[in-house]
Structures are given as C-alpha cells and as structure tokens.
Amino acid sequence: MDILEEIIAHKCEELERMRAKKPSLRQALLDSPTGIIAEFKRKSPSKGWIKEDGRADIIPLSYQQNGAAALSILTDKKYFGGHDDFIRVARQSGVTIPILYKNFVIDRFQLYEAVLCEASAVLLIAACLTRERCAELIQTAHELGLEVLLEMHSEDELEYAELEPDICGINNRNLGSFVTDVENSFRLAKLLPKDAVKVSESGISNPDTIKLLRQAGYRGFLIGETFMKTDDPGQALKEFIAQIP
C-alpha cells in the first residue's frame, strides 16, 4: 500500500466512525434511574466565568464515571466560553454516553458541525426559530442521525411540540431576562404531549426537586452551574445523586 492508499483507508475509517450510530439520549433518559444530564458549562452571559480553567478532557469523563445519564456540552464561544472541540476532546478522553450539542442552532450548517464532533443530539430552541425553520432543522437532524431536544419556555411555544422532536425540554430560565424559576417546569408539564420524554432545564440545585419533577412526568434534568461552580464537578454530581430521594 502506498502513502495515498494508506491515507484514503484511514479517511474511510474516520468517516465510518462519524457515521456510526451514536448512543441515544432519549433512551438513556428512559433507562436511567436519575436522568441527570450533567452540563460542561464554563461561562454564562449573566454571571461571567464559572470555571474558566474547566477541561473537556477531565470534567465530562468524570461526570460519566460518577453517574450522569448523559452530557450537555456548550459549544458557543463568545457567551459561554465553549467550543466544538470540547465534544471531540470529551469523546477522545473516553466518554461513551450521549452528548447534547448545546448551542443556538439557527442553520443546518451547525447540524453538520454537531455530527462532525460526534454529538448524539442537538438542542433546538423554539424562541430562536420560526415553526417552519424548526421543522426543517428537525428533519435534517434526523437525516444526519442526530436526535433533537426541543427547548420551550412559555405556553405560547408549546405548539412546537407538535413537530415531534425526540425530547421536549422546558427551560426554567427566561433567555431574555435570564431569570430562573423551576416552577415553570411544573406549570407546563401537563400541557406537553403525554408520551413526550420531558426534560427540565436550568435552576435545579436541590436533589428533592428531582423527585418532585419526576412525579410531574419529567425523565431528564439538565444541571450545569450547580456542579461546575464546585472544585470537583464530578464529585459534586456523585454527592447530588446520593441525596436524591
């Protein structure tokens, strides 16, 4: 085999790995006793740096080792201190559980980026998209083998759930004011489709809240700052899980 043949053979292996079916976020939440999606979030637009030195080759794997059902990794650079490479690095470090590509996705090009960095699912935010554009992005994501977590915040946005995303998320944080209220999840739970896999996002800092949200029908709980603001996010996750009723 000459050098060119060797390069092409390796390139075929890379493509096969990228095309390979990724672990399902939806199924992971259905199977998990806790449903925690632990988030790698280094920065916030409202709070600034949370963990500027947070390493993608350490924290995500530690989350996996300490009981996370799945991961969420911020890839927005300017406002959240993220990067697509953080997902690649996490995979290379040994992460095998589902990873949510978390960004403000408004164009199908970003879906290709999610595939290339080996994410399992992508976040779509109703507040950022028309219903028509959201439907197009869900279709494209599915064609690329990505699951979709569709995030809604208000009663007006719940009509987007009719687009049949893989997972329905309720954000407890208002993305305009950044005010957070977990009661938002309880208020909207009954208005979502009964068979939807539901995720409550943001503002969850008390293990008792997980029990109450489960009783309201939620199977997933996206938690970031509660863990990332500690010295050891993975250990903080472990201790949090141990306290869930």
Q: Compute the distance between CA of residue 115 and CA of residue 22 in angstroms, rounded to an integer.
A: 10
State what percent of residues in the chain have pLDDT above 70: 100
Answer yes or no: are the C-beta atoms of 236 and 227 closer than 8 Å: yes
Our answer to whether residue 202 is catalytic in this structure is yes
Tokens, residue 80 = 């959240």
Question: Over 80: is that where the pLDDT of 111 sits?
Answer: yes
Tokens, residue 245 = 């009723």
The CATH code of the domain that includes 158 is 3.20.20.70
- Active-site entry in 66, 120, 172, 202: 202
The answer to whether the Cα torsion of 68, 241, 206, 189 is positive or negative is positive
Q: Compute the distance between CA of residue 10 and CA of residue 204 in angstroms, rounded to an integer.
A: 44
- Active-site entry in 62, 120, 171, 200: 171
Q: Give me the pLDDT at residue 14, please.
A: 85
Our answer to whether residue 229 is catalytic in this structure is no
- Active-site entry in 32, 39, 43, 44: 39
Chain segment 123-151, per-residue pLDDT in tens: 999 999 999 999 999 999 999 999 999 99
On average, the pLDDT of the chain sits at 95
Query: Which amino acid would we find at residue 178?
Result: F
Q: Which helix (H) or strand (E) holds 19?
A: helix 3-19
Q: Give phi and psi for 73, each to the nearest 5.
A: -125, 120
Give SS3 for 143. helix
Our answer to whether residue 66 is catalytic in this structure is no
Q: Give me the pLDDT at residue 220, please.
A: 98
Our answer to whether residue 14 is catalytic in this structure is no
Q: Give me the pLDDT at residue 230, please.
A: 97
Which of 44-48, 126-130, 176-180, 181-185 has the least mean pLDDT? 176-180
Q: Give me the pLDDT at residue 119, please.
A: 97
Give the global pTM: 0.92
Question: Over 90: is that where the pLDDT of 175 sits?
Answer: no
Structural domain boundaries enclosing 133? 3-242
Our answer to whether residue 151 is catalytic in this structure is yes
Looking at the 3D structure of the chain, how many domains does it have?
1
Q: Give phi and psi for 220, each to the nearest 5.
A: -135, 150
Task: State the Rg of the chain over Cα.
Answer: 18
Q: Compute the distance between CA of residue 38 and CA of residue 237 in angstroms, rounded to an integer.
A: 8
Q: Give me the pLDDT at residue 243, please.
A: 96
Q: Could you report how far apart the first and last alpha carbons of the chain are, in Å?
A: 60
Question: Over 90: is that where the pLDDT of 29 sits?
Answer: yes
Closest CA to 140 of 103, 168, 115: 115
Q: What angle do CA 119, 162, 80 make, to 5 degrees?
A: 35
Question: Over 90: is that where the pLDDT of 101 sits?
Answer: yes
Our answer to whether residue 39 is catalytic in this structure is yes
Closest CA to 244 of 205, 200, 207: 207
- Active-site entry in 22, 41, 43, 198: 41
Mean pLDDT to the nearest integer, 169-180: 83
Question: Over 80: is that where the pLDDT of 172 sits?
Answer: yes
Q: Give me the pLDDT at residue 162, please.
A: 96
